[in-house]
């Protein structure tokens, strides 16, 4: 069985069936962030998903950061098939807790990196470029508001009305 998306409700509801999880012991299941991404990717390969808003965003793991897969929370919510069991989300970061529809399933996450929300006027690709340029990881404090991104002593204006060049030292 594969995940489903109910496009008849708002926000669109993603349901992950229990059969797509890995049984750990008893009623405890695991889902790695990479397995989560594969479920989402396989679903979006379906032609029925193509006319709808992008389902997820992904940043692959690097030597210094875990993989990150997030649901597009503007349009989607997520639930696990209802039942008396627990799911541990492991080996990466997600925003499942922010988009989760609560039911009887106990969902546990162990995120290790703060999420950066794309501000108005900044594309996902551009934000990824900024993230990589600044060598961001879990140890660098990041502050974002509607007009700027601050990392330590560096502040970047993201209003789109000015351009600044920063030289890495």
Assign 118 a pLDDT band (cuts: 50, 70, 90): very low
Give CA–CA dist 134/129, Å, rounded: 9
Q: What is the mean pLDDT of residues 56-60?
A: 84
Maximum mean pLDDT: which of 53-67, 81-95, 113-127:
81-95
Query: What local confidence, expressed as pLDDT, does residue 5 receive?
Result: 93
Query: What local confidence, expressed as pLDDT, does residue 169 receive?
Result: 46
Q: What is the DSSP letter of 136?
A: -
Q: Closest by alpha carbon to 16, among 75, 59, 60, 76?
A: 76
Domain ranges of the chain: 4-113, 116-169
Query: What local confidence, expressed as pLDDT, does residue 56 receive?
Result: 87
Q: What is the pLDDT of residues 74-111, one digit of tens each?
A: 899 999 999 999 999 998 888 898 899 999 999 998 77
Assign 158 a pLDDT band (cuts: 50, 70, 90): low
Residues 6+ positions from 111 with CB-CB distance below 8 Å: 93, 94
Task: Please say whether the beta carbons of 136 and 151 come within 8 A.
Answer: yes
Length of the chain: 169
130: its two tokens: 């900024």
Query: What local confidence, expressed as pLDDT, does residue 145 receive?
Result: 62
pTM exceeds cut of 0.75: no
């Amino acid at each position: 069985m594969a995940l489903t998306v109910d496009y008849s409700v708002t926000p669109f509801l993603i349901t992950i069936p229990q059969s797509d999880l890995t049984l750990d012991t008893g009623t405890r299941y695991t889902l790695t962030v990479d397995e989560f991404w594969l479920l989402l990717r396989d679903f979006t390969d379906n032609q029925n998903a193509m006319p709808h808003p992008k389902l997820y965003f992904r940043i692959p793991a690097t030597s210094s950061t875990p993989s990150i897969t997030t649901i597009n929370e503007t349009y989607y919510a997520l639930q696990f098939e209802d039942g008396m069991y627990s799911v541990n989300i492991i080996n990466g970061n997600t925003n499942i807790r922010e988009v989760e529809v609560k039911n009887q399933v106990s969902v546990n996450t162990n995120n290790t990196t703060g999420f950066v929300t794309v501000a108005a006027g900044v594309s996902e690709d551009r934000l990824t470029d900024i993230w990589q340029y600044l060598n961001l990881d879990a140890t660098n404090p990041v502050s974002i508001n509607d007009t700027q991104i601050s990392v330590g002593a560096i502040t970047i204006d993201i209003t789109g009305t000015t351009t600044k060049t920063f030289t890495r030292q």
